[in-house]
Amino acid sequence: MSDSDDGIEQIIASEEEMKRLDDPSLFINRELSWIKLNERILEEVYDKEHPLLERIKFLAICGSGLDEFFMVRVSGLKRQALKGALKTPPDGMTPNEQLAAIRIEVKKLLKKYSKCWNEEIIPDLLTAGIMIKKVEDLDKDQRNYVRDYFDNSIFPTLTPLAMDFAHPFPFISNICLNLAVIVRDSEDGEKYARIKIPTDLFPRLVEIPDRGKKPNNETKVKKEINLVFIEDIIASEINKLFPGLTVVATCPFRMTRNAEIKITDDLASDLLTAMELGIESRRTGFPVRLEIDGSMPDKLKKLFIHKFMLTDDFVYKVDMPLSIVDFWQFLGIDRPDLKDKPFLPYTPPAFKNGQDIFSTIEKRDWVFYHPYDSFNTIVNPLKQAAEDPDVLAIKTTMYRVGKQSPIISALLHARKRGKAVTVLVELKAKFDEEKNIGWAKVLEDAGVHVIYGLEDLKVHAKILLIVRKRGEKIVHYSLVSAGNFNAVTSTTYADIIYLTSDPEVGAELAEVFNLLTGYSKKNDYKHLVVAPATLRREIVDRINREIDAHKQVGDGYIAIKLNGLVDEGIIQALYRASMAGVKIDLNVRGLCALRPGVKGVSENITVTSILGRFLEHSRVYYFKNGGADEVLIGSADMMPRNLNKRVEVLIIILDPELKKIIIEYMLNIHLKDNVKARRLLSNGTYERIIPGPDDERIDSQKWLIEHRGIWHGDA
């Protein structure tokens, strides 16, 4: 056979391989993968190793996640279906097929929620002395309290709105709890009205004082806590809103609307104004879900379906309280015995207030892991920068900013002290738009140079640059993070941060800020990997390099920890590596479209997911590279939006000791988890990893709490 024949055979083999890797059966549907994630979160509610109120927290997370799923993902599929979209995801499901599959799976999910609430949580609350009561079950004194509370607090805020031909049908706000009221008039028969439950003004669960009982201090019996849902209080006093009429029934319901914001630059002079207009449009988005209480009669349900222009496919009957996102309130109950035991995050001595932090950073690079490390490891350098007369400028990005932000405070103080402060506030951070707009205005009013983000790209990169004069030199202190610079989420999101004074990294990070604030088409970074310019190419090149190294050395290995793996091209590259014999360990917390364990394609790939006390949010990319280990950390997942539509930054870890630390303590420890980890099977379901009788039990999050400081050499 001639050389040219060999080349033709290789081309044919390559084409056959690519055709095979395009097979829809090799991909898990993204939306169904999300539902599996929600099922894994629900499993945490059943896990009695979590304290009771923390278990209820996971139920609230299920609720908020499902709300967002309908507002964003289901609404997007509904739009595609209405437009007759032809493009399908890698798994090949059409929008209508996905909507049908979602309905089946969500109905199963809602049954699981109800079963969990009624059969697990309610009895466990009762055992703990916390009782969810109906008003009718309260004693006389408690009912008097409820009546007074309604009359003096709730009643003045309520506005019943009639639902008939003589009145315009009332507007139902997005994800607000409502009561539909059926009343009977002796002359006109039955009528309908709607009352919005004012959960923005009052707690969803109202604690009812136990006036007749006192806690027994001698026996140290914990005080009994009686809670009543606010909608039950309103329903118990509903007659006061309809004098002269007979109230037949009250039925809770809740509407979910499309939350996608349309930015129309023809109506606004700048991005901030366009976003403000867009946020208002979210309130009136088209309906995508109607949740109803099991007591709602069919004729009332049909009225809602007609008025909201829905079909029965978008109506969900729920056999438990609606709006379970409100269950976050349980964490406010004063029962520390029913919550996670707090721990003190670690602060290296060199990063405490009063230390010369800049000299510390110049001596060596640093890696931090929140929440095991204190958030002060970010705040204190900024505080020092604000006071240091040699600091010339501070530049940073803000994606999700907390309500009380020490980062914002430090930046404002730095500006007050005369520093040049530049902040890119991403106004398009979904569901944080209003908060970010508010902070952007505060910063701008203080003289900070604020950029509102880019028109066509969302800035998801978490980067910080401090520019300081030292003698005749300019030093850059560069920080690249996986997580938001948010003091609140830093206690619950597990994120890795890298801090260096390397001049080449500083110069490249300065180039990234030039891209964000001005115009730049730089795409030849040495120490950074930046999306959308280079990220896809750089990751695929590294996967291909691992294939080549494996062919030569025989020990090819890739380990990746991230939140989501959905991109078709990246998955196909990983399939090719597996087919070449490269061993691949993936720790994917959330969505995963890759199907592991498929014979001849992904037999060398394992996928695990960890759900526990903290939200696994770090991104770590490890390539063995023939023994020359390479590690990257930063903000990017492997999803089309991260690769194509966002500005993301990964940093290639420079320091060889810190590289080992990240591999050993921040990657391998999670890959060894056999307590909180689940393994993804080839059929798209997950199973818990069960340690063998002789295996050491490793709960990676607990291990990291117990060993915090070890990566600084201080534990």
- What is the full DSSP assignment across 637-688? -BSHHHHHSEEEEEEE---HHHHHHHHIIIIIHHHT--SSEEEE-TTS-EEE
- The pLDDT value recorded for residue 518 is 84
Q: Do the strands 161-162 and 677-680 form a parallel or antiparallel pair, or are they unpaired?
A: unpaired
Given a contact cutoff of 8 angstroms between Cβ atoms, the answer to whether 561 and 587 are in contact is yes
Residue 572 has phi, psi (to 5 degrees) of -65, -40
- Report d(CA 63, CA 323) in Å as an integer: 7
- The pLDDT value recorded for residue 17 is 60
**Six-digit token string for 670:** 């999670």
- Report d(CA 597, CA 604) in Å as an integer: 7
- Report d(CA 181, CA 693) in Å as an integer: 58
Number of neighbouring beta carbons within 10 Å of residue 693:
4
Q: Which of 655, 528, 678 is nearest to 608 (CA)?
A: 678
- The pLDDT value recorded for residue 499 is 98
Map residue 60 onto helix, strand or coil. Answer: helix
Q: Which of 611, 597, 81, 578 is nearest to 314 (CA)?
A: 81
Q: Which of 611, 572, 559, 612 is nearest to 590 (CA)?
A: 611
Q: In the chain, what's the furthest Cα-to-Cα distance? A: 98
- Report d(CA 553, CA 547) in Å as an integer: 10
Concatenated DSSP letters for 209-231?
Answer: P-TT----TTTTPPPPEEEEEHH
- Report d(CA 45, CA 110) in Å as an integer: 14
- Report d(CA 27, CA 22) in Å as an integer: 9
- Which stretches of 487-637 are DSSP H helices? 503-517, 535-553, 568-579
Verify whether residue 670 is a known catalytic residue: no
- The pLDDT value recorded for residue 648 is 97
Specify the domain boundaries for CATH 3.30.870.10 within the chain: 349-522, 529-712
Residue ranges of the chain whose pLDDT lies below 50: 1-5, 7-13, 215, 217-220, 266-268
- The pLDDT value recorded for residue 164 is 76
**Six-digit token string for 228:** 């009543």
CATH superfamily ID and name for 349-522 = Endonuclease Chain A (3.30.870.10)
Burial readout 478-505 (b: 16 or more C-beta within 10 A, e: otherwise): bbbbbbbbbbebbeebbbbbbbbbbeeb
Given a contact cutoff of 8 angstroms between Cβ atoms, the answer to whether 175 and 164 are in contact is no
CATH class of 140-261+288-310: alpha beta
Tell me the CATH number for domain 529-712.
3.30.870.10
Number of neighbouring beta carbons within 10 Å of residue 184:
14
Q: Do the strands 225-229 and 130-132 form a parallel or antiparallel pair, or are they unpaired?
A: parallel
Q: Which of 249, 256, 252 is nearest to 229 (CA)?
A: 252
- Report d(CA 55, CA 59) in Å as an integer: 7
- The pLDDT value recorded for residue 187 is 80
Map residue 591 onto helix, strand or coil. Answer: coil
- Report d(CA 507, CA 511) in Å as an integer: 6
Residue 229 has phi, psi (to 5 degrees) of -65, 140
List Cα–Cα distances, 33 to 63, 101, 359, in angstroms: 17, 12, 47
Q: Which of 50, 370, 413, 460 is catalytic?
A: 460
Crossing angle, helix 52-68 and helix 95-116, to 10 degrees?
A: 160
- Environment class of residue 442 by beta-carbon count within 10 Å: exposed (0-12), middle (13-18) or buried (19+)? middle
- Report d(CA 176, CA 16) in Å as an integer: 53
Given a contact cutoff of 8 angstroms between Cβ atoms, the answer to whether 414 and 385 are in contact is yes
- The pLDDT value recorded for residue 282 is 67
- The pLDDT value recorded for residue 1 is 44
